[in-house]
Amino acid sequence: SFDLWGIEKKVFLNYLSVGYDAAVVDRFQRLRGKLPALFRRPFGNRVLYLISGFLHLFYGIPSGAVIMYENQKIDISGHKTLLLGNINSYAGGKPLDKTVVYTDKQLNVFRIKRLWGMIRLVSGRGCESQNEKSNSFVLNLGYDTMGQIDGEPHPFAKGVHRIELIGQVKVIGG
């Protein structure tokens, strides 16, 4: 069984993120939709993904963004990425945190504050984890912001978004 999470009538298993990584994925997906001929080879895909990353080099979470959980209120304005994850790898299988438990009814909180943190993550050196977790979050955004839900771009409107455990799902694997 895996924990199942909900936000805005959407369900996810692995992660939700807001910030730099989501902006890169959104640009990459839009470009792939407009120019599919450029995306025929894995090497070309990687190059275009790198270009998308470079174009968003200075992108961060807009001002007025706050996340609340476990009686904490944390200003995440200017952070590169906020990742709420139920996975131990990210960014193409790079290690995130080996202590993640998929069935503990908690999402792990990863706040990546600077570009260096993203470089550290995608180079396979892990994430500077806060070892914080909760089963209920309130994300309050001061501006419309790009996000990801299980790897798919998802625009978040300005305002309050509740993220909660909604149950568990059985997954068959081998």
The encoded tokens of residue 72 equal 């904490």
**What is the predicted pLDDT for the residue at 141?**
96
Instruction: Kindly indicate the confidence band of residue 129, based on its pLDDT and cuts at 50, 70 and 90.
Output: low
- Arithmetic mean of pLDDT over the chain: 86
Per-residue model confidence as pLDDT tens digits over 30-83: 888 888 887 788 887 788 778 877 878 888 899 999 999 998 999 999 899 898
Instruction: Kindly indicate the confidence band of residue 130, based on its pLDDT and cuts at 50, 70 and 90.
Output: low
Residue 164 has pLDDT above 60, yes or no: yes
**What is the predicted pLDDT for the residue at 174?**
54
Residue 142 has pLDDT above 90, yes or no: yes
**What is the predicted pLDDT for the residue at 19?**
92
Q: How far is CA 6 from CA 12, 23, 38, 63, in A?
A: 6, 21, 35, 25
**What is the predicted pLDDT for the residue at 69?**
94
Give 94 or 72, the one with higher predicted confidence: 72
**What is the predicted pLDDT for the residue at 50?**
81
Q: What percent of the chain stands above pLDDT 90?
A: 33
> What are the residue ranges of helices labelled H in the chain?
20-34, 42-55, 115-122
Dihedral angle of Cα 24, 26, 27, 33, to the nearest 10 degrees: 140
Backbone angles phi, psi at 148, to 5 degrees: -130, 145
Residue 97 has pLDDT above 80, yes or no: no
Is the pTM value of this prediction over 0.75?
yes
**What is the predicted pLDDT for the residue at 16?**
93
